[in-house]
Amino acid sequence: MINAIIDFCARNKTIVFVGTIFAAAGAYYSISNITLDAIPDLSDTQVIIFTEWMGRSPDLVEDQITYPIVTSLLSAPKIMAVRGYSMFGMSFVYVIFEDGTDIYWARSRVLEYMSQFQSKLPQGVSPVLGPDATSIGWVFQYALVDTTGRHDLADIRTFQDFTLRYALSSVPGVAEVASVGGYQKQYQVEVDPNKLHAYNLSVGDVTRAIRQSNNDVGGRVIEMTGREYFVRGRGYISNLDDLRQISLGSTPAGTPILLGNVAKVGYGPDIRRGLGEFDGIGEAVGGIIIMRYGENALDVIQRIKTKIAELKPAFPEGVELKAVYDRSNIITRAIETLKHSLIEEGIVVALVIFIFLLHFRSALVPIIALPFAVSLAFIPMYLLNIGSNIMSLGGIAIAIGAMVDASIVLVENAHKRMEKAPDGIDRKEVIIAAVKEVGPSIFYALLIISIAFLPIFVLTGQGGRLFKPLAYTKTFAMFFSAVVAITLAPALMTLLLRGKIKHEAEHPVSKFLIAIYKPFVFVALRNPKTTIAIGLAAIIATIPMIPQIGSEFMPALNEGDILYMPTTFPNISIEQAKQYMQYQDRIIRSFPEVISVYGKAGRAETATDPAPLSMLETVVQLKPREEWRRVHQERWYSSRAPTFLHSIFKPIWPEDRLITWEELMAEFDKAMKFPGWTNAWTMPIKTRIDMLSTGIRTPIGVKIFGHDLTEIERIGMQLEQSLSKIPSTRSVYSDRNTGGYFIDIIPDRLALARYGLTMRDVEDVIETAIGGMPIEVTIEGRERYTINVRYPRDLRDNIQHLKEILVPIAGSPQSEMGGEGMSNEGGRAIEGEPPLLAGSNWAEVYNPWDNMQLVQMDNMGGGGGSKPGSSFPGGFSGGMGSTSMPASPQMKGSSPPQGSSIPEGGRHIPLGQIADIRIVTGPPMIKDEAGMLVGYVFVDMDQSQRDIGGYVQEAKRVVSEEISIPSGYYLKWTGQYELLEQMTKKMKVVVPITLIMVIILLYLNFRNITETLIVLASVPFALVGSIWLMYFLKYNFSTATWVGIIALVGLATETGIVMVLYLDHAYERRKRAGKMRDLNDIIWAHMEGTVMRVRPKLMTVGTTMIGLVPLLWAQGTGADVMKRIAAPMVGGLISSTFLTLEIIPVVYTYWRYWQIKHEHK
* Domains 1-33+358-501 and 503-548+1008-1161 belong to one CATH topology: yes
- Cβ atoms of 1128 and 1040 within 8 Å: the answer is no
Q: CA-to-CA distance for 1079 and 310, rounded, in angstroms?
A: 84
- Cβ atoms of 75 and 374 within 8 Å: the answer is no
What's the pLDDT at 811?
54
What's the pLDDT at 528?
83
- Cβ atoms of 1107 and 401 within 8 Å: the answer is yes
What's the pLDDT at 362?
78
Q: CA-to-CA distance for 456 and 1123, rounded, in angstroms?
A: 18
Closest CA to 914 of 1139, 1087, 761, 1070: 761
Q: What is the dihedral of CA 330, 335, 340, 346, to 10 degrees?
A: 160
- Cβ atoms of 645 and 627 within 8 Å: the answer is no
Q: Hey, which residues does 788 pair with through a beta bridge?
A: 188, 774
What's the pLDDT at 1093?
67
Q: CA-to-CA distance for 799 and 918, rounded, in angstroms?
A: 8
What's the pLDDT at 483?
86
CATH superfamily label, 1-33+358-501: Multidrug efflux transporter AcrB transmembrane domain (1.20.1640.10)
| Helix-strand-coil split of the chain, %, nearest 5 | 50, 20, 30
Task: State which CATH number among 3.40.50.2000, 3.20.19.10, 1.20.1640.10, 3.40.50.300 fits the domain covering 503-548+1008-1161.
Answer: 1.20.1640.10
Contacts of 679 (CB under 8 A, 6+ apart): 564, 566, 669, 672, 673, 730, 731, 940
What's the pLDDT at 597?
95
Tens digits of residue pLDDT in 782-838: 888 999 998 888 887 788 888 888 887 755 444 444 444 444 333 333 333 333 333
**E strand or H helix at 826:** none
Q: What is the dihedral of CA 253, 259, 264, 265, to 10 degrees?
A: -150
Dihedrals phi, psi of 44, to nearest 5 degrees: -75, 160
What's the pLDDT at 581?
93
Q: Are strands 256-258 and 263-269 parallel, antiparallel or unpaired?
A: unpaired
Q: What is the dihedral of CA 579, 581, 587, 592, to 10 degrees?
A: -140
Closest CA to 273 of 523, 58, 450, 111: 58
**Domain ranges, ordered by start, for the chain:** 1-33+358-501, 185-216+249-269+741-922, 503-548+1008-1161
DSSP for 397-428, please give it. HTTHHHHTHHHHHHHHHHHHHHHHSPTTS-HH
Residue ranges in the chain whose pLDDT is less than 70: 423-424, 499-500, 502, 504-505, 636, 644, 646, 810-906, 1076, 1092-1093, 1159-1161
Closest CA to 47 of 130, 126, 115, 117: 130
* Residue 187: HSE in the Cβ half-sphere, 13 Å Cα cutoff: 25
Contacts of 385 (CB under 8 A, 6+ apart): 35
Q: Is 990 exposed, middle or buried (0-12, 13-18, 19+ CB in 10 A)?
A: buried
Dihedrals phi, psi of 828, to nearest 5 degrees: -80, 150
CA angle 46, 51, 56 (to 5 degrees): 140
Tens digits of residue pLDDT in 704-747: 999 998 899 999 999 999 998 888 888 888 888 777 888 999 99
* Global confidence as pTM: 0.79
- Cβ atoms of 524 and 531 within 8 Å: the answer is yes
What's the pLDDT at 859?
36
**E strand or H helix at 1087:** helix 1079-1090
